[in-house]
């Protein structure tokens, strides 16, 4: 899907709802996974894959495609749901998440899943990977852009800030970082583990163009992505305030849903809230 074939806001909201449903069903069938961070990232993934990015699902290795790196690799169910909907593989594979021999591993594996640009899972490394891709694109005179989604907890990793310094030094304008800022990580809140604020000021001090938005407000997401595209002086970070477990009342902002699969009763209740 090339830019210009983008969906309208209402269509994007509906796609995000469907990605949430698919993610929960996948995790339930797998008996394991990370629902909280998959649901918080659904609107962001939708805006990227169904509106902003230049892609050809029929040609996954198209040299001029935009690249996406899911640095918070544990949130892969929502990414798999998006790739299936775009036609990178048969949606029936979604039922095989984390199963033996599946193409859909518990963390993204580019050697198994069509449409992936990077294997991720070790937190803190994705921005470095994306920076390398962006620099190669510039050296090869390619027009593609690179998007890296980070979890807020992994901003505790020093390698993130090393990559941030390097990207600013070389004014890598074709690189955009998107932070799924749900303010919860495995062991507690960001403030309890390692306070991040003032986060915008930190990124700006590293000479990034920093934008803060509501990560569930689709028009705001699209505006931020457009602003990142138009900013040609260096890299952009979009700090997207989200809610862990977004869309399911008993999962929202609940640390317990970081890495627990819903049982049958919980899945049914969640699907009632998300709609048919």
| Domains in the chain: boundaries | 9-274
Query: CA nearest 36: which of 71, 69, 91, 74?
Result: 74
| DSSP secondary structure, 233-244, as one string | SS-EEEEEE--T
Question: 201: burial class by Cβ within 10 Å (0-12, 13-18, 19+)?
Answer: exposed
Q: What is the pLDDT at residue 118?
A: 97
Tell me 63's DSSP state.
T
Report the chain (276 residues): mean pLDDT per 10 consecutive residues.
68 98 98 97 98 96 97 98 97 97 97 97 96 97 97 97 98 98 93 96 98 98 98 98 98 95 98 92
- DSSP class of 37: H
Q: How far is CA 234 from the centre of its chain?
A: 21
Longest dimension (CA), the chain: 53
pLDDT, position 6: 61
CATH architecture of 9-274: 3-Layer(aba) Sandwich (3.40)
């Amino acid at each position: 899907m090339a830019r210009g074939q983008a969906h309208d806001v209402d269509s994007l909201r509906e796609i995000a709802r469907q990605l949430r449903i698919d993610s929960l069903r996948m995790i339930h069938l797998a008996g394991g996974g990370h629902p909280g961070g998959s649901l918080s990232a659904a609107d962001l993934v939708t805006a990227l894959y169904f509106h902003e990015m230049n892609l050809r699902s029929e040609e996954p290795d198209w040299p001029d495609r935009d690249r996406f790196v899911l640095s918070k690799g544990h949130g892969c169910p929502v990414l798999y749901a998006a790739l299936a909907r775009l036609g990178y593989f048969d949606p029936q594979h979604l039922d095989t998440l984390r199963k033996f021999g599946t193409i859909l591993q518990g963390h993204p594996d580019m050697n198994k899943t069509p449409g992936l640009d990077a294997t991720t899972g070790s937190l803190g490394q994705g921005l470095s990977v994306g920076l390398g891709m962006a620099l190669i694109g510039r050296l090869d005179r390619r027009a593609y852009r690179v998007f890296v989604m980070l979890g807020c907890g992994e901003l505790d990793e020093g390698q993130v800030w090393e990559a941030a310094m390097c990207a600013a030094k070389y004014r890598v304008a074709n690189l955009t970082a998107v932070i799924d800022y749900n303010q919860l990580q495995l062991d507690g809140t960001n403030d309890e583990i390692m306070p991040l604020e003032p986060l915008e000021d930190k990124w700006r001090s590293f000479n990034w163009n920093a934008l803060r938005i509501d990560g569930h407000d689709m028009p705001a997401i699209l505006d931020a992505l457009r602003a990142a595209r138009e900013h040609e002086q260096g890299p952009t970070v979009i700090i997207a305030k989200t809610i862990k477990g977004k869309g399911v009342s008993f999962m929202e902002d609940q640390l317990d849903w970081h890495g627990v699969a819903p049982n049958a009763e919980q899945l049914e209740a969640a699907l009632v809230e998300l709609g048919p």
